[in-house]
Amino acid sequence: AAEEAIKAGIYPYFHELESKQDIEVIMEGKRRIMLGSNNYLGLTVHPEVMEAAIKAIEKYGTGCSGSRFLNGTLDLHNELEVELADFLGMEAVTTFSTGFQSNLGIISAIAGRHEYILCDRENHASIYDGCRLSYAETIRYRHNDMDDLESKLKKLPLEAGKLIITDGVFSMSGDIAKLPEIVELAEKYNAATMVDDAHGLGVIGEGGRGTASHFGLTDKVDIIMGTFSKSLASLGGFMAAKKYIVDYVRHNSRPFIFSASITPAGCAAALAALRIIKREPERVARLTHLSKYLREKLMENGIAVRESGYSTPIIPFYTYEHTRTLVAAKMLFEEGVYVNPVLPPATAPTECLLRTSLMATHTEEILDEAVEIIARVTKQLP
Ligand code: PMP
């Protein structure tokens, strides 16, 4: 399929970037408006974040050359964990080398034999792989469907270990998890809860504190997982929970123990980004404003935006068929707009999408320019 797409000139992957990850980028020699990055707060190019990374290299060198467990813990890792726990209002945090690895490491460590994981169908691939790595039985429920979740919970023994896992903000659709209902069901059926807030942190909740904060339910969620590769402008991931759960994972999680820690530059960048988010919550408000702005502009121009109850910065629109989606992505790229295609198995074969995502640093002018191009291109599609 990849070879065919290359031959047809509609292969959408591995475009080469020759500039910073910003609202406009140079990709394959030309300016493109970036509407496909997870750099939600635009902090990858913030001078303070860049400076912190450079200083960390000067002080610690380029790598940690070992696991957090052994020689790879810097004072910077500990500082990041303490400040992040404080920001989230959770007891403790531990960091992993990537967000993907966090899900592998958390789920495989805490869900064991004769236990059950209840997993939203649209959860991220790393959650699925974490489930496969654990010895617990995984049961999927229909996306954000609380009746289906309850019917599955009902069939399980009340005393058995159960963990409900959901994305906070779903990565492809921008939907927000129905956390109030999930927490209620968890209490009723004796289950624990875990939220993957990769796309919620820095995006929703008080000052960007994420999905649990958005619903005022921080004290009801057992585990919050997140990543530094999106709003926090770096690379790495984390788990936030009660201290005894974090301590358990730190001593039992193979992806945590047997893998090298976040690099000094990566760690310092995430810490600097976190401090900016704390100091300047207006960035999060600006992102929400722009999310509503872009959604409305796309709808005004007759573009088939996917419905979502709340304006998150993930705004996908339907292109329906597989090839039509690739053609649309290619045409947009040629006209100077970068967006990401969402294709099966991430979506149903007739519900393919192009996923736009925003940064707080986008301007209304650049979004207007992008919408004009998207409207023009989608009208030309067969
Ligand atoms: N969880 C979700 C919901 C994600 O969208 C992603 C990344 N796209 C990850 C986990 C993995 O994070 P990372 O890219 O930082 O490894």
- Residues near 86 by Cβ (< 8 Å), separated by ≥ 6? none
The C-alpha atoms of residue 206 and residue 61 are separated, in whole angstroms, by: 36
The pLDDT score that the predictor gives to residue 311 is 82
| H-run or E-run covering 293 | helix 282-300
Q: Does the annotation count 289 as an active-site position?
A: no
Query: What spacing in Å lies between the alpha carbon of 236 and ligand 1's midpoint?
Result: 10
How do beta strands 92-96 and 24-27 pair? unpaired
The C-alpha atoms of residue 305 and residue 2 are separated, in whole angstroms, by: 27
Query: What residue type is 228 in one-letter code?
Result: F
270 closest CA partner among 100, 123, 125, 99 = 99
Question: Can you give the pLDDT of all 382 residues of the chain as single tens digits?
Answer: 899 999 999 999 999 999 999 999 999 999 999 999 999 999 999 999 999 999 999 999 999 999 999 999 999 999 999 999 999 999 999 999 999 999 999 999 999 999 999 999 999 999 999 999 999 999 999 999 999 999 999 999 999 999 999 999 999 999 999 999 999 999 999 999 999 999 999 999 999 999 999 999 999 999 999 999 999 999 999 999 999 999 999 999 999 999 999 999 999 999 999 999 999 999 999 999 999 999 999 999 999 999 876 789 999 999 999 999 999 999 999 999 999 999 998 888 999 999 999 999 999 999 999 999 999 999 999 8
Phi-psi map region of 144: left, alpha, beta (phi>0 left; psi -120 to 50 alpha): left
Q: Does the annotation count 178 as an active-site position?
A: no
Strand locations in 197-299 (E): 223-227, 237-241
Query: What spacing in Å lies between the alpha carbon of 372 and ligand 1's midpoint?
Result: 30
Q: Does the annotation count 362 as an active-site position?
A: no
Shortest-distance atom of ligand 1 to CA 126: 10
The pLDDT score that the predictor gives to residue 6 is 95
The pLDDT score that the predictor gives to residue 346 is 87
Query: What spacing in Å lies between the alpha carbon of 111 and ligand 1's midpoint?
Result: 20
Residue with tokens 């270990």: 161
User: Is any ligand 1 atom within 6 A of the Cβ of residue 98?
Assistant: yes
177 closest CA partner among 230, 229, 129, 141 = 141
The C-alpha atoms of residue 162 and residue 115 are separated, in whole angstroms, by: 6
Compute the CA torsion angle 88, 94, 96, 99 (nearest 10 deg): -20
Q: What is the 8-class DSSP label of residue 345? A: T
Shortest-distance atom of ligand 1 to CA 171: 5
Mutate to test the pocket of ligand 1, among 103, 229, 342 (most ligand atoms within 8 A of CB): 229
Compute the residue count for the chain: 382
Shortest-distance atom of ligand 1 to CA 167: 3
Query: What spacing in Å lies between the alpha carbon of 298 and ligand 1's midpoint?
Result: 26
The token duo for 370 is: 């992008």
236 closest CA partner among 198, 204, 183 = 198
Query: What spacing in Å lies between the alpha carbon of 100 and ligand 1's midpoint?
Result: 5
Considering only CA atoms, which residue is closest to atom 14 of ligand 1? 99
Reduced to 3 states, what is the DSSP secondary structure of residue 317? strand
User: Is any ligand 1 atom within 6 A of the Cβ of residue 95?
Assistant: no
How do beta strands 237-241 and 92-96 pair? antiparallel
Reduced to 3 states, what is the DSSP secondary structure of residue 117? strand
Shortest-distance atom of ligand 1 to CA 237: 15
Reduced to 3 states, what is the DSSP secondary structure of residue 34? strand
| H-run or E-run covering 149 | helix 146-154
User: Is any ligand 1 atom within 6 A of the Cβ of residue 175?
Assistant: no
On whether the CB atoms of residues 377 and 57 are closer than 8 A, the answer is no
233 closest CA partner among 39, 47, 28, 87 = 39
The pLDDT score that the predictor gives to residue 333 is 98
Considering only CA atoms, which residue is closest to atom 5 of ligand 1? 171
The C-alpha atoms of residue 180 and residue 176 are separated, in whole angstroms, by: 11
The pLDDT score that the predictor gives to residue 21 is 95
